[in-house]
Amino acid sequence: MASPQALDSPDNYAGRMGQHNVVIASLPAGVYGTTSAATTASSLIASLPSIRVGLLVGIGGGIARPDEGQDIRLGDIVVSQPDGTTGGVCQYDLFKAKHGNKKERKVFLRPPPTVLLNALASIQARHKREDSKVTDFVQGMLEKYPMMRRRSKRDPGFAYQGIENDRLFKASYNHVHGPACRDCSAAGEVQRDARDSTDSEIHYGIIASGNTLVKDAAARDQIVDNIGEDCLCFEMEAAGLMDEFPCLVIRGICDYADSHKNDQWQQYASATAAAVVSIASERHAEKIKRWLQPPDPSTNANHARKLRHEGTGMWLLEHPVFQSWCTGSRRYSWLHGLAGCGKTILSTTVLDHLTSKKDGRVLSFFFDFSDTRKQSLDGMLRSLAFQLYQSTTTSTTRLDDLFKNHENGGREPATKAISDAVCEMLATSTEVCIVLDALDESTSRRELLKWIEDVAARPDLAHVQLLCTARPEPEFLVRFDRMMGKESCISLDKTAVNTDIQAYVAEQLATRWEFQEKPLSPNLIQEIVAKVGGGADGMNLPKDLEETYKRMLSNIPKRDKDNAIRLLQFLVHTRRPLMLGEAIEILATDTGAQQPGFDEESRVFGENEVLGHCPSLMAIFEVTERIHLFEGGLSEGKLRKELHLAHFSVKEYLRSAEWFDTYTSSVTITKTCLTYLRGISGNHRTIENDYPFAKLAAEIWTSHAASSQSCEEVFQASLAFIEQEVTFRRWCHLHQPDWESYEWRPPPRGSRFYYACLEGLTRVAHELMRGGVEVNAEGGYYNNALQAASVGGHDDVVKLLLDNGADPNKKGGIYGNTRYRNALQAASYEGHVTIVNLLLEKGADVNTLGGWYGTALSAASKQGHIDICKLLVAKGADIYMRGGDYDNALEAASRSGHIDIVKLLLANGADVNTPGDGDHCTVLSVASERGYTDIVELLLANGADVNAGNALTDGNRHRSSTPLYIASKHGHADTVRLLLKWRADANIRSGDYGGALSIVSYNGHVNIVKVLLDAGADPNAQDYYGRSPLQAALFKRNIGTVRLLLEKVANPNAPSSNFAKLGDGYDIALEAASLHGWGDLVKLLGADVNAQDDYYGNALWAAIENGRFEVVNILLDSGAIIGDSLCAAVSGSHDDIVKLLLERGADVNTRFHPLEGGESFAESGSLGETHQYECDCSGDGLVQRLLWYCGATLERRGGRRSKSCAGRRLPRPHRYYEIALREEGGRRRSRRCSGSRCV
């Protein structure tokens, strides 16, 4: 992220869009043209040399030819796209005059970088499948910023301007008069077919760019004819950028480049163009979020903030333990207190304090008894990973890699994989504070505490500070005391909490209307405050909770009791809170009537009526949905309301109370869901829009039916629901258990019998079998009922199927490829040991090959199911068998970090050096990539080859990746040390970067650079492209690494002859630092300032061409020879550098020889052409005189020279070579030449 100090213009803004750091640079107000754009871009790149790609976003004039299929409308967007003859942008006012009044375009502008073209292809493909969503983004912007809507005729705003104001006139019909076209005749309009909607469309093709403002239809058409390209629009900046800063050009169409041009559509067109950028940048982050599905901690925090009384909780911020934690002298702290003492509210106090005071990143997670997504270590890690992904650029790569390694989101990541990613992301971040609230509400406490202890033990996470809250239960007392010491634990101060309670009570007595009708005396108020606060004993809840909750239940009016209990049963036993709309539907569903049904007329009107059934045990949470906005990122959107249990202690009580056990609650929930789903009607869209409970009911009824299927009423209702065609199809449209896509669902692909087995409805499946279904029938995502039941872990169903002739070796489904799929692999992967046993007893082939995981043993090894692995090995599983994504079982276990399974496999003869497929040749490479040091050491101890490389052909052997290279690349310092201890060769040629030292120099792992150098790594070794570690470090400006390499005698003057193949633009280290303007590195290198190469010539040329004034000064002070470098300064219009060079003695008569024949610029004819650029010249006339020496002509107005030159400025020499070589058929040569006069 660019610091504000790096932005040297008030017109530059730094920020973030999705996964990208972004700097927005705008042209000065009222200034446009190619020169202004080039100047702005040069200034930006000089300030921020790390900028990699650019987007030029703005407005343009459309070239509409509806009769030729080029139907462009106002508000549409045009995106530049190369067509083979141009780079996507062509300059329309730079030509060579030819015989017969013919014109030839002179300049070929460079195409955008490949990364942008790849993104463009992805956007185009997506727009062929779905709407562009441009209009949605603009609408979201206008809803958030209402002032941007239409305000007056003078300022039409950013809203759509209306189809009646989009008029395309014939080229022969000129504008009549006035700013608008009110008086222009409709007879002059081009007749166009009406579109289906007013949504903006996106067009891809050639954009014409130049300095001439086109406002005449005849001139417009003539220019297009001269260009000879199928252009889509005109604009006035891109031609100034494409050679120096190749970018993708995006233009919103605001007029048709004719005499009818006006400003009405400009603001709307600019918004639609910006919307395309937002869509492109946010798409990847959306994919990551959909794949990761991170729980949102802000819902809990916002609810707690609403309950927090202003001014309370200050005692915690002033507590000496908290202050020492906040300043960093303590890494960890634990805030503990009994239920109801306000820990969650205090957590929000801490969060708000950290956010306002800390410069680093603040992460949070609130464990929540009412939401299963917020109860596990896995849910916490997903949330932390996505928070880190959104808040920093340094750590996004790790999560992106995890996404790619899981088939771009096609597979779920294991908890350990997410944990590893989070730890690596934390390691690359600085000053991280994590607040974890209500650890006692987690259902995976053992794993959670182990993770916290592991984080505390890692030295690379010493900068991570962690604050936890939990009740003082034994496991927390023991583990936290051992980890952080009693001195880092904060027990809630009862006196301070009582004071906060008194402040709250006093405020309520003073402000609530109930106490205003008959005001209380000051003495009585004081007495109430003292009595309530003084007797609270540091708690906001009554001391005898069980008796209190029992009394609340008994006090519910009889007429409301059944509904109240039903709502509470849902809240206790569903995996997430109820939406308010869902709760209303549940109350309107009558399961106890003689004719059960759902009655829309019985819907209550709002939250008060819902809470009125049991106000003290339930609470309404307001949750703000996150929406994607036009300017990127997530922002607050629609408010929704959720029904929760009032407190964790409520759930604890109800679990042991009458009516709330699993069986009783499941009976009620199943009957309610099925009654509701039978009672609604309409098409699919109507049901989804008008019946809020439909989707949840479809999702949860089967799990509750399976838990209560011994109830005859539940069994009969379930069977009837599945057998009826209408209800079965309605259910499958709302929810298919084997289809995870939320965007759409196909018609049911499995039979009723298949879905009954998948969901564990044993009695229903048995009844359907009695009706004659085929147990081995194919269909559904898992292909057959046996595999479906094995995935779900339904032992009774699997036994039923096997006893009735199901084939245990039936192949098919997602757990195999098109030939080999079986239930054994499914059960092994899912960890269902009882089902694995059942299948093996019935003759399942333990060595069937196929599917993602190859074999059942590999599937179990990947997931870490040690008991199943032992069972499979005992039953004859072939540990050498290869296949699937993980090649063999040993690789699967090593990749996932399951050392116990690795030991088991090695003990049974697994070969540690078996060559594998893909990126890794051995298991050692896999374990090294993940940084599993214990597994690496185990493999080495069992004979793994420490220097084994990829199984590539001999011709590419130098590019194989050894375990040392892989561990170095991924930054695992401990693994690198271990491999070196086992005599890994630090100088073996490996990977695309040639060796371990080069890749860590590029990635900036200074600690590993030192380890490798101490182990004897050659600091001057070159990779496949001729790069040295020093050049790799310079490319990423890793100053610490550069300094360390120089200390170890790295040669700063070493050339790399192959660098031009990469297009990096420099062959020597000093040139790299010079062209980027890194003055500190130029000084640090101490290299030969006059060393020459074949790209820029030398460091001075590189610095001058890129406008690096400071570096030019440093190089001249260090003895750089000026030579013909004045040409570079003139060609780039770098006035300050021209002056500097002249002051240092540059010769204005230096001759420059760009072509082998000795032809000069003037002789080649390029300087004699009419100049089409505006060159802003310095006021003292210095550059004007220099240009005049070069043969340029200066305009005269009123007897004095104009500030703009008419003569064309010198092109960049390397661009001139390309043009001249295409014309003359010559070959490119070095810039280091002399002969012809330059200036």
| Residue pLDDT, tens place only, 889-917 | 999 999 889 999 999 999 999 999 987 65
Confidence of residue 366 (pLDDT cuts 50, 70, 90): very high
Instruction: Give mean pLDDT, residues 853-881.
Output: 94
Superfamily grouping for domain 736-910? Ankyrin repeat-containing domain (1.25.40.20)
Amino acid code (one letter) for 389: Y
Question: What per-residue confidence (pLDDT) applies to 1205?
Answer: 28
Give yes or no for residue 521 having a pLDDT over 80. Answer: no
Say which CATH architecture domain 52-285 belongs to.
3-Layer(aba) Sandwich (3.40)
Question: What per-residue confidence (pLDDT) applies to 887?
Answer: 85
Question: What per-residue confidence (pLDDT) applies to 957?
Answer: 42
Give yes or no for residue 846 having a pLDDT over 80. Answer: yes
H or E element that contains 743:
none
Nearest to residue 79, comparing CAs of 300, 213, 215, 235? 235
Amino acid code (one letter) for 116: L
Question: What per-residue confidence (pLDDT) applies to 809?
Answer: 92
User: Listing from the earlier edge strand, what are the strands of the sheet with 618-628?
Assistant: 578-579, 634-645, 618-628
Query: What does the alpha-carbon distance between residue 915 and residue 900 come to, in Å, rounded to a whole number?
Result: 22
Cα–Cα–Cα angle for 1015, 1018, 1022, rounded to 5 degrees: 140
Question: What per-residue confidence (pLDDT) applies to 1123?
Answer: 84
Give yes or no for residue 539 having a pLDDT over 70. Answer: no
Give yes or no for residue 246 having a pLDDT over 80. Answer: no
Tokens describing residue 279: 């869509």
Q: What is the pLDDT of residues 160-172, one digit of tens each?
A: 888 888 999 998 8
Q: What is the pLDDT of residues 558-575, one digit of tens each?
A: 888 999 999 999 999 998
49-58, 313-322, 628-637, 833-842: the lowest-pLDDT one? 628-637
Confidence of residue 1020 (pLDDT cuts 50, 70, 90): confident
Query: What does the alpha-carbon distance between residue 357 and residue 1101 come to, in Å, rounded to a whole number?
Result: 46
Q: What percentage of the chain has pLDDT greater than the value 90?
A: 31
Confidence of residue 255 (pLDDT cuts 50, 70, 90): very high
Give yes or no for residue 773 having a pLDDT over 80. Answer: yes
Give yes or no for residue 4 having a pLDDT over 50. Answer: no
Average pLDDT, the chain: 79
**Could you say which DSSP state residue 955 is in?**
G
Give yes or no for residue 1037 having a pLDDT over 50. Answer: yes
Question: What per-residue confidence (pLDDT) applies to 482?
Answer: 83
Give yes or no for residue 856 having a pLDDT over 80. Answer: yes
Considering the chain, tell me which residue range(s) the CATH 3.40.50.300 domain(s) occupy. 293-503
Give yes or no for residue 597 having a pLDDT over 60. Answer: yes
Confidence of residue 630 (pLDDT cuts 50, 70, 90): very low
Please classify residue 56 by burial: count the beta carbons closer than 10 Å to its beta carbon, then call 0-12 exposed, 13-18 middle and 19+ buried.
Answer: buried
H or E element that contains 724:
none
H or E element that contains 1058:
none
Give yes or no for residue 401 having a pLDDT over 50. Answer: yes
Instruction: Give mean pLDDT, residues 346-350.
Output: 87
3-state secondary structure of 344: helix
Nearest to residue 717, comparing CAs of 680, 671, 779, 683? 671
Question: What per-residue confidence (pLDDT) applies to 1064?
Answer: 47
Alpha helix segments (H runs only) across 337-492:
343-357, 377-391, 396-405, 415-427, 445-457, 474-484
Question: What per-residue confidence (pLDDT) applies to 1198?
Answer: 30
Give yes or no for residue 819 having a pLDDT over 60. Answer: no
Question: What per-residue confidence (pLDDT) applies to 710?
Answer: 96
Instruction: Give mean pLDDT, residues 710-732.
Output: 95
Give yes or no for residue 699 having a pLDDT over 50. Answer: yes
Q: What is the pLDDT of residues 647-694, one digit of tens each?
A: 778 888 888 888 999 999 999 999 999 999 999 998 888 998 899 999
**Could you say which DSSP state residue 672 is in?**
H
Give yes or no for residue 252 having a pLDDT over 70. Answer: yes
3-state secondary structure of 436: strand
Question: What per-residue confidence (pLDDT) applies to 1190?
Answer: 42
**Could you say which DSSP state residue 175 is in?**
-
Considering the chain, tell me which residue range(s) the CATH 1.25.40.20 domain(s) occupy. 736-910, 912-1051
Which is more confident, 685 or 1094?
A: 685
425-429, 431-435, 631-635, 687-691: the lowest-pLDDT one? 631-635
Instruction: Give mean pLDDT, residues 1087-1096.
Output: 80
Confidence of residue 130 (pLDDT cuts 50, 70, 90): low
Alpha helix segments (H runs only) across 228-265:
none
Most confident by average pLDDT, 336-340, 372-376, 502-506, 1160-1164: 372-376
Give yes or no for residue 76 having a pLDDT over 90. Answer: yes
- According to DSSP, the residues that pair with 60 across neighbouring strands are 253
Provide the CATH number for the domain formed by 293-503 in this structure: 3.40.50.300
Q: Identify the sign of the CA torsion 1159, 1162, 1168, 1172.
A: positive
Nearest to residue 743, comparing CAs of 199, 130, 282, 280? 130
Question: Beta strands 489-491 and 332-336: pairing type?
Answer: parallel
Give yes or no for residue 1239 having a pLDDT over 50. Answer: no
Q: What is the pLDDT of residues 22-58, one digit of tens each?
A: 788 887 776 777 777 777 777 777 777 667 778 889 9
Most confident by average pLDDT, 233-237, 335-339, 799-803, 1108-1112: 799-803
Q: For the chain, how far is it from start to end, CA to CA, in angstroms?
A: 42
Confidence of residue 816 (pLDDT cuts 50, 70, 90): very low
Question: Taking the mean position of all CA atoms in its chain, how far away is CA 199?
Answer: 27
Question: What per-residue confidence (pLDDT) applies to 1214?
Answer: 36
Which is more confident, 108 or 704?
A: 704
Q: Identify the sign of the CA torsion 403, 407, 409, 415.
A: negative
Which is more confident, 31 or 314?
A: 314
Nearest to residue 1150, comparing CAs of 1176, 1130, 1170? 1130
Instruction: Give mean pLDDT, residues 481-498.
Output: 75
Q: Let me know: does 462 contact 396? Beta carbons within 8 Å.
A: no
Query: What does the alpha-carbon distance between residue 1031 and residue 1069 come to, in Å, rounded to a whole number?
Result: 5
Question: What per-residue confidence (pLDDT) applies to 1150?
Answer: 62
Give yes or no for residue 97 having a pLDDT over 70. Answer: no
3-state secondary structure of 77: strand
Rounded (10°) angle between helices 866-874 and 833-841: 10
CATH 1.25.40.20 fits 912-1051, yes or no: yes
Confidence of residue 108 (pLDDT cuts 50, 70, 90): low
Which is more confident, 514 or 323?
A: 323
